Amino acid sequence: MKRVLLFLATNLAVIVVLSIVLNIVFSFLGIDHSSISGLLVFAAIFGFGGSFISLALSKWMAKRSTGAVVITQPRNATEQWLLRTVERQAKKAGIGMPEVAVYDSPEMNAFATGMNRNDALVAVSTGLLRNMKQDEVEAVLAHEVSHIANGDMVTLTLIQGVVNTFVIFFARLIAGAIRNNNQQLGTFAYFGIVIVLEIVFGFLASIIVMWFSRQREYRADAGAARLEGPDKMVAALERLKHNHESRLEGSLMAFGIAGKKPKSELLLTHPPLEKRIEALRNRREF
């Protein structure tokens, strides 16, 4: 919690400092700085607001989008084992017991989500349960529990809120400057420029978010190695080399054990499996 609060305070401080600097610069240039402050507040409200609303709804949306069924009363030995394993790992990681769910999918995958580390959700696919050994499934569950223990869902939301804020702010700032220098530019043209700039800045911002997402995967792998041992985690990652491409979308894809495979690593939510395995093999002391 302290790390999250510190991270939030730091980014709010960045926004405040930027606002002050911009006010000074625009005052020097004779530009109405009150409109700049208002724009920054507007951008922050919408930038952070959308991210936190998505986080608050993440568990509900995850269940709806994947058809995940939460295990309340275990129906078989596998479900009993899943609950016992997650409960053991959660206690060891120092978090509250997450909801445990299973969703129907041929891919070997699992994900964690939720805005509270003591009230999260861990879900595994039927494909993972069918195609992985028990030790490997334990490692995957430990990976997802580590995401929760590390507060990754909240931290990624904060980072997304910051980049959203700056995308909205600078897109409208530049579009406004273009309109001020061209009085014939109409409202529709202005919003067209805003949309184009938001697409461009949003793409550049996504590179930053994806970089953080990859670092977060290394930390979750290391957390799983501490909970279940590095050999189990390496075996699980080796097994994932034979996986179907992930069918998870949005934030669920970012928190799945396996991601999609775009052409550029800059846009990967997950590092390549070979790099994750190498990182674990180079860190035998956990």
Q: What is the DSSP letter of 184?
A: T
Sheet holding 121-125, edge to edge: 69-70, 99-103, 121-125, 110-113
> If you search the block for the tokens 């409208």, which residue do you land on?
172
Q: CB–CB of 3/150 below 8 Å? A: no
Please give the Cα distance from 97 to 259 (Å, whole number): 25
Nearest to 108 by CA among 89, 77, 90, 129: 129
Which of 99, 144, 198, 228 is labelled catalytic?
144
Let me know if 144 is a catalytic residue: yes
Take residue 181 and report the two structure tokens written for it.
């220098």
Residues whose CB is less than 8 angstroms from the CB of residue 232 and which lie 6 or more positions away in sequence, other chains included: 135, 136, 138, 139, 142, 224, 225
Q: CB–CB of 276/221 below 8 Å? A: yes
Give per-residue burial for 257-271: e unless 16+ CB within 10 Å, then b: bbbeeeeeeeebbbb
As annotated, the active-site residues are 144
